[in-house]
Amino acid sequence: MVDLKESRNKIDKIDSSIVELFEERMLVANEVAEYKRGSGKAVFDPERENQKLDSLEDLASTAFNKRAVRELFSQIMSISKKYQYDILRNTDSIKGFECVDKLEYDENTRVCYFGSPGSYTQQAMEEFFGTNVIGISNGTFKEVMEKVQSGEADYGVLPIENSSTGGISTNYDIIINYDNNIVGEHVVKIDQCLMALPGTKMDEIKTIYSHEQGLKQCSQFLANYPQIKQIEYASTSDSAKKVSIDQDKTKAAIGSARAAKEYGLEIIKENIQQETNNSTRFIVISNKDIYKKGSNRIALCIEVKHESGSLYKILSHFMFNDLNMLMIESRPITGQNWRYRFFVDIEGNLEDSGVKCALRGIKEEAQHVRILGNF
pLDDT of residue 85: 77
Q: Which of 165, 200, 236, 280 is catalytic?
A: 280
pLDDT of residue 94: 55
Q: Is 282 part of the annotated catalytic residue set?
A: yes
Three-state secondary structure call for residue 182 = strand
pLDDT tens per residue across span 138-195: 999 999 999 999 999 999 999 999 998 988 888 898 999 999 999 999 999 999 999 9
Closest by CA position to 231, among listed 245, 216, 242, 215: 215
Q: Residue type at 323?
A: L
pLDDT tens per residue across span 358-374: 898 898 889 999 999 99
356 and 93 in contact (C-beta within 8 Å)? yes
In Å, what is the CA distance from 316 to each residue of 50, 125, 183, 311, 357?
19, 36, 26, 9, 12
User: How many other CB atoms are found less than 10 A from the CB of residue 58?
Assistant: 9
Q: Is 140 part of the annotated catalytic residue set?
A: no
User: Residues 295, 300, 306, CA angle at the centre, nearest 5°?
Assistant: 160
R_g of the chain, CA atoms, integer Å: 27
Q: What is the pTM of this model?
A: 0.83
Closest by CA position to 213, among listed 184, 171, 267: 171
User: Residues 149, 184, 171, CA angle at the centre, nearest 5°?
Assistant: 55
pLDDT of residue 356: 85
Element (H, E) at 189: strand 181-189
Return the higher-pLDDT residue of 166 and 88. 166
Q: Which of 128, 282, 342, 343 is catalytic?
A: 282
pLDDT of residue 296: 97
Distance CA 148, CA 159 (A): 15
Distance CA 163, CA 170 (A): 16
Helices (H), the chain: 4-39, 46-59, 63-87, 120-129, 141-150, 169-175, 212-217, 219-222, 236-246, 257-262, 310-320, 353-365
Query: 327 pLDDT band (50/70/90 cuts)?
Result: very high
